[in-house]
Structure 1
Amino acid sequence: MPGKATDCGAASVRAIAGLLALVILFVVASGCTPPAQKFVDKIRAEATEKCNEGNQAACHTIVQALGGAKVAIESTAPLETQTPACNAGKQDACQQIAVLHGELSSWCSMGNGQACSAVNTGPWPAKWDEPALIDAAKLACLSGRFKPDSNTCQALEMM
Structure 2
Amino acid sequence: MHDLTLVPFRDDLAGAFAAINSEWIAAMYTLEATDRDVLGNPRARIIDAGGDILFVRAGDVGIIGTCALRPSGGGAFELTKMGVLAAARGRKAGEFLLAGAIARARDMQAEGTLTELYLLTNKRSEAAIHLYEKLGFVHSADIMARFGSAYARCDVAMVFPL
TM over 0.5: no
Structure number having the greater helix percentage: 1
TM value normalised by structure 1: 0.32
TM value normalised by structure 2: 0.31
Query: Larger RCO: Structure 1 or Structure 2 (Cα < 8 Å, ≥ 6 residues apart)?
Result: 2
